Amino acid sequence: MDKANKRVTVYLQSDYHRALKVKAAETEYSVSDLVNDAVRDALREDSLDLEAVEDRAAEPSIAFEEVLKKLRKDGKL
């Protein structure tokens, strides 16, 4: 284990814990590896979402109510 790792207590639902233990037993990864991968993937997804929001910040916005009005006007609702 890398010295930069921190020990934490995480409470998992028993089904998730069992699934992680089975997956760890059937792969070359430990439960810690699997949890770290899941956390990294979730944080990466958040980062990409924030980047997309930033990239689209200059785009004009339209109120949902306006979209509905246009759909009604066009006979689509």
| 33-65 per-position pLDDT tens digit | 999 999 999 999 999 999 999 999 999 999 999
Task: Flag whether 5 is in a domain.
Answer: no
Task: Flag whether 3 is in a domain.
Answer: no
Asked if pLDDT for residue 16 goes beyond 90, the answer is yes
Listed as own residue / partner, the contacts of 43-49 with beta carbons closer than 8 Å and 24 or more positions apart are: none
Task: Flag whether 39 is in a domain.
Answer: yes
Residue 66: burial class (beta carbons within 10 Å; 0-12, 13-18, 19+): exposed
Task: Flag whether 9 is in a domain.
Answer: no
Q: Whole domain around residue 23: which residue ranges?
A: 14-73
**CA end-to-end span of the chain:** 58
Give the pLDDT score at 1.
55
Question: What proportion of the chain, given as a percentage, has pLDDT over 70?
Answer: 97
How many structural domains compose the chain?
A: 1
Task: Flag whether 2 is in a domain.
Answer: no
Task: Flag whether 7 is in a domain.
Answer: no
Give the pLDDT score at 36.
97
Task: Flag whether 40 is in a domain.
Answer: yes
What global pTM score does this model have? 0.69
Task: Flag whether 26 is in a domain.
Answer: yes
Angstrom distance (rounded) from CA 37 to CA 43: 10
